[in-house]
A = this chain, B = another copy of it.
Amino acid sequence: MTTKKMSAENETCPAQALLKMLSGKWKPEIFRLATKGPLRFSSLLREIAGSNKQSLSVALKELEEAGLLEKVIIREKPLHIEYNLTENGKSLIPIFEQLESLG
């Protein structure tokens, strides 16, 4: 295979990283719901119309890797997992709300 270079992440624009964290087909809606309270996978799947397991899984992972969400195992009645906003995630709420009000 020819050694072709991959997307060299041209981060010349400071806003780009943040925009990338929140953009995509499902991440804005997931983030918005996360600001309301803890998220569960199965609930998201039910509540977000038109979504699907794979895409939500990928989106949640990206939000987690971006440091906006964290996974918590809840050892209760039916053992399950919660996704919560991290401190970093919470710090984005004000600007996210502005985006909402302008959109």
Chain B residues with CB under 8 Å of A91's CB are 102
Q: Which A residues from 5 to 62 make CB contacts under 8 A with B? A: 7-8, 10, 12-20, 22-23, 25, 28-29, 32, 48-50
Cβ contact within 8 Å between B18 and A20:
no
B103 engages A15 (CB within 8 Å): yes
Chain B hits for A10, CB < 8 A: 25, 29, 48-50
Interface residues of A, CB < 8 Å — how many? 31
A79 at the interface (CB under 8 A from B): no
List residues of chain A with CB under 8 Å of any chain B CB.
7-8, 10, 12-20, 22-23, 25, 28-29, 32, 48-50, 91-92, 95-96, 98-103
28 interchain pairs, CB-CB under 8 A: A7-B25, A8-B50, A10-B25, A10-B48, A12-B29, A12-B48, A12-B49, A13-B29, A13-B32, A13-B100, A14-B99, A14-B103, A15-B22, A15-B28, A15-B96, A15-B103, A16-B29, A16-B103, A18-B102, A19-B19, A19-B22, A19-B28, A19-B103, A23-B23, A92-B102, A95-B98, A95-B99, A95-B102
